[in-house]
């Protein structure tokens, strides 16, 4: 069957399609029914089933003869470490950690926050929670203490599992002070913390609250897998919305297992036993789905890479890892390739390696610009597949189903909708638009298995954010086009979310921080185009009348404030001080117009602008920073 047949099979009988895919999962109680629409428009899948994620990702492979196969390859050029863990070893390690968590009182439904760098123990912590039916929430290591605190208060975890440090080029990021600061700031206090001490940094433990990773596992019985209901939350992953409060995306257990397993062959074209590598971080959805869960559920070997595309030690690192570990399918963000291209434009480094094991490169997380795709195709000699998805969905909405049929690549398009997704372009009134016209991208409900059924503790926000603008549809927050061949093009966000080096950030959250500076009267944050990171945040601030602090000092304070409150990953380094912000007569800041000015793009003067002269002031402020040329 080709792609069209498979898509048609799904369209003809969506429930039958997913029931078929469900056969690849080992159930405690198999589902009799796929879709539960009793609370529509809130849909759930496989609610009558019972299952355990860790069993499917680990134990069943040991029982089925894959015990000696490598489950995890840890390759850390930044610490000069490599190791391998077989499925049998992984089972022992995860059961032991789960036993320790259980002995300290963690049970089904309890939340556990995981704040760890890219080490195999991060995956073990996730799997240990899954083994007990505890709900993990991984927080990216590049986030500051206040972001961690917000997540602690929302998820109210019984425990936190943290590493002692992360290792970034040229510096050790001590996690323990960040963790202690976050717990101090948060209203909710975890009962205990488990600290994984790395040799680069030994953290001081607080007696009675903090326990050493290894010590806590001594003399405890390993834990068995605990069955959970099909719609039991497997995890919560916080992502940026339009305000400072992140959205807690809930991932349902059974749908997650079924859908991720399906993607491994049909999209990534790997068979059990093959090595699959996603160069991302466990703190992001790509890391959840494609460093940890999907490859393990499918019986693949996954690579945990702790390093950067360049500088650890050079722009040949990716090629070395592919060759050395016999990687079949490789997944990363376009920004990583832009970094390599900048460092090694002619692709000289790749000539030192044999990457003939690789079948395809998959890019996602941000717009894949044509230059980068063409360059990657040329130097790597394999197909480059862009694919589009979100934290909310957890896997591909539109992609190239290479394992079913490799469709012709149209550069600039992540290709076509995957089975499960009826993707449509809507106008403001929610009417479908003709092929080739730009509109809001929406997906007809119900979304497929594995996608978010709700937001943690925030069902109203879920309905308001995603289901209200276009009744009967899920609003993706992206705008785009579908061409005559059904190929989708993602053009822009329709909200205040920006994408910095593949990291999703909220300009609204940054504005809240800028506004908290005592000398800032008014502010706006926009995303400006950046050659390396895709976008960078840029702040505009109007200072209070009579402010006597030098502008440079204020700018430095604001930059530090964002770094301290959100984290270094926000890459917030551009600030302009202006007298006024361009607004409509009703007082709405014209951010989209500012983006166009910064990017030296043509724009139509907004009819509702209050005072067009302000745009010249904005232009004048941008020029010295190298924008608005
Ligand atoms: N813990 C602590 N700090 C972190 C961190 C982590 N896990 N990850 C990043 N940071 C810090 C960096 O050290 C840097 O700090 P600095 O301002 O002191 O230099 C800052 O956050 C920005 O980091 P990063 O986005 O990695 O940018 P960079 O300039 O260091 O490197 C790239 C540029 C392109 C090499 C890098 O962005 C990259 O590898 N991108 C791939 C992105 C990716 O995999 N995204 C996942 C989505 S699929
Ligand atoms: P995240 O939830 O962090 O995965 O970010 C999801 C958002 O990133 C999407 O809504 C898009 O705006 C953007 N995005 C992800 N993949 C792509 C892609 N292939 N092309 C363009 N934008 C993308």
pLDDT tens column, 429-460: 999 999 999 999 999 999 999 999 999 999 99
Tens-digit pLDDT profile for residues 195-226: 999 999 999 999 999 999 999 999 999 999 99
| CA 368 to ligand 2: nearest atom | 20
Query: What structural domains and CATH numbers belong to the chain?
Result: 81-226 (3.40.50.980), 501-625 (3.30.300.30)
Report the DSSP beta bridge partners of residue 251.
235
Round to whole Å and give the CA distance between 7 and 404: 11
Residue 389 Cα to ligand 2 middle (Å) = 6
- Whether residue 449 has its Cβ less than 6 Å from ligand 2: no
Chain-centroid distance, C-alpha 538:
22
End-to-end CA distance of the chain: 52
**What pLDDT, on the 0 to 100 scale, is given for residue 603?**
87
For residues 260-269, average pLDDT: 98
| Residue tagged 């003869």 (tokens) | 65
Alpha carbon nearest to ligand 2 atom 9, residue: 390
Buried b (16+ CB within 10 A) or exposed e, 177-195: ebbbbbbeebeeebebbbb
Alpha carbon nearest to ligand 2 atom 4, residue: 390
| CA 169 to ligand 1: nearest atom | 13
- Whether residue 366 has its Cβ less than 6 Å from ligand 2: yes
**What pLDDT, on the 0 to 100 scale, is given for residue 604?**
86
CB neighbourhood size of 605 (10 A): 10
Predicted confidence (pLDDT) at residue 241 exceeds the cutoff of 90: no
- 330, 279 contact by CB (below 8 A): yes
For residues 89-100, average pLDDT: 98
Please give the torsion angle defined by the CA atoms of residues 457, 141, 569 and 167, in that order, rounded to the nearest 10 degrees: 180
Residue 394 Cα to ligand 2 middle (Å) = 11
Residue 527 Cα to ligand 2 middle (Å) = 15
**What pLDDT, on the 0 to 100 scale, is given for residue 406?**
97
Tens-digit pLDDT profile for residues 473-507: 999 999 999 999 999 999 989 888 999 999 999 99
Tens-digit pLDDT profile for residues 395-418: 999 999 999 999 999 999 999 999
Alpha carbon nearest to ligand 2 atom 13, residue: 366
Using pLDDT thresholds of 50, 70 and 90, give the confidence band for residue 186.
very high
- Residues with C-beta less than 6 Å from any ligand 1 atom: 141-142, 166, 168, 173, 279-281, 284, 286, 308-310, 332-333, 335-336, 339, 365, 501-502, 532, 568-569, 571
The two structure tokens encoding residue 546 = 């009579």
In the chain, what's the furthest Cα-to-Cα distance? 74
Buried b (16+ CB within 10 A) or exposed e, 121-157: bbbbbbbbbbbbbbbbbbbbbbbbbbbbbbbbebbbb
- Whether residue 391 has its Cβ less than 6 Å from ligand 2: yes
- 401, 408 contact by CB (below 8 A): no
Report the DSSP beta bridge partners of residue 363.
332, 386
User: Is the full-model pTM beyond 0.85?
Assistant: yes
**What pLDDT, on the 0 to 100 scale, is given for residue 282?**
97
**What pLDDT, on the 0 to 100 scale, is given for residue 629?**
84
Alpha carbon nearest to ligand 1 atom 2, residue: 142
Which residues make Cβ contacts (< 8 Å) with residue 514, sequence separation at least 6?
520, 523, 525, 539, 541, 558, 561, 562
CB neighbourhood size of 207 (10 A): 7
| CA 286 to ligand 2: nearest atom | 4
Round to whole Å and give the CA distance between 405 and 407: 6
Tens-digit pLDDT profile for residues 494-541: 888 999 999 999 999 999 999 999 999 999 999 999 999 999 999 999
Tens-digit pLDDT profile for residues 37-56: 999 999 999 999 999 999 99
For residues 459-467, average pLDDT: 97
CA distances from 146 to 285, 540, 563 (A): 21, 23, 10
């Amino acid at each position: 069957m080709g792609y069209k047949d498979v898509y048609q099979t799904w369209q003809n009988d969506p429930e039958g399609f997913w029931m078929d895919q469900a056969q690849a999962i080992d159930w405690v109680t198999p589902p009799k029914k796929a879709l539960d629409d009793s609370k529509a428009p809130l849909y759930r899948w496989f609610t009558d089933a019972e299952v355990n994620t860790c069993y499917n990702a680990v134990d069943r492979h040991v029982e089925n003869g894959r015990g000696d196969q490598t489950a995890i390859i840890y390759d850390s050029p930044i610490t000069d470490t490599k190791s391998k863990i077989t499925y049998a070893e992984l089972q022992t390690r995860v059961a032991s950690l789960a036993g320790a968590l259980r002995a300290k009182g963690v049970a089904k439904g309890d939340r556990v926050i995981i704040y760890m760098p890219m080490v195999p123990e991060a995956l073990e912590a996730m799997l240990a929670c899954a083994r007990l039916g505890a709900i993990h929430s991984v927080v990216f290591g590049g986030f500051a203490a206040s972001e961690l605190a917000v997540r602690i208060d929302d998820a109210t975890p019984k425990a936190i599992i943290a590493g002692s440090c992360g290792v970034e080029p040229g510096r050790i990021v001590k996690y323990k002070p960040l963790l202690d600061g976050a717990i101090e700031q948060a209203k909710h206090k975890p009962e205990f913390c488990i600290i994984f001490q790395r040799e680069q940094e030994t953290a001081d433990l607080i007696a009675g609250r903090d326990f050493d990773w290894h010590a806590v596992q001594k003399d405890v019985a390993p834990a068995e897998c605990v069955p959970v209901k099909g719609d039991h939350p497997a995890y919560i992953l916080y992502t940026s919305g339009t305000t400072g409060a992140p959205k807690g995306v809930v991932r349902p257990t059974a749908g997650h297992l079924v859908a991720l397993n399906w993607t491994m062959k049909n999209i990534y074209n790997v068979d059990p036993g093959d090595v699959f590598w996603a160069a991302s971080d466990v703190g992001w959805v790509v890391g959840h789905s494609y460093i940890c869960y999907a490859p393990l559920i499918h019986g693949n070997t996954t690579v945990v890479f702790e390093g950067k595309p360049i500088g650890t030690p050079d722009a040949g690192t990716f090629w070395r890892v592919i060759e050395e570990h016999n990687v079949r399918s490789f997944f990363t963000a376009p920004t990583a390739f832009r970094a390599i291209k900048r460092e090694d434009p002619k692709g000289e480094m790749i000539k030192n390696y044999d990457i003939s094991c690789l079948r395809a490169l998959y890019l996602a997380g941000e717009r894949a610009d044509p230059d980068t795709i063409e360059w990657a195709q040329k130097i790597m000699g394999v197909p480059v597949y862009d694919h589009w998805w979100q934290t909310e969905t957890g896997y591909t909405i539109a992609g190239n189903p290479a394992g079913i049929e490799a469709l012709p690549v149209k550069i600039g398009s992540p290709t076509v909708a995957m089975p499960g997704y009826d993707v449509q372009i809507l106008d403001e009134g929610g009417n479908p638009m003709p092929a080739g016209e730009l509109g809001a991208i929406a997906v007809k409900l119900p979304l497929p298995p594995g996608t978010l059924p709700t937001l943690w503790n925030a069902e109203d926000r879920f309905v308001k954010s995603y289901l209200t603008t276009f009744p009967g549809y899920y609003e993706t927050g992206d705008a785009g086009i579908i061409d005559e061949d059904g190929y989708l093009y993602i053009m822009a966000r329709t909200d205040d979310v920006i994408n910095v080096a593949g990291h999703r950030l909220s300009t609204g959250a940054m504005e809240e921080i800028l506004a908290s500076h005592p000398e800032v009267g008014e502010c706006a944050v926009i995303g400006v185009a950046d050659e390396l990171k895709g976008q960078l945040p840029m702040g505009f601030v109007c200072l209070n009348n009579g402010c006597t602090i030098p502008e440079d000092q204020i700018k430095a304070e604001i930059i530090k404030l964002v770094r301290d409150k959100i984290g270094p990953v926000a890459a917030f380094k551009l600030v302009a001080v202006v007298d006024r912000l361009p607004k409509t007569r009703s007082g709405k800041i014209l951010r989209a117009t500012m983006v166009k000015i910064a990017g030296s793009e043509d724009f139509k003067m907004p009819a509702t602008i209050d005072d067009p002269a302000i745009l010249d002031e904005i232009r004048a402020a941008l020029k010295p920073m190298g924008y608005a040329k």
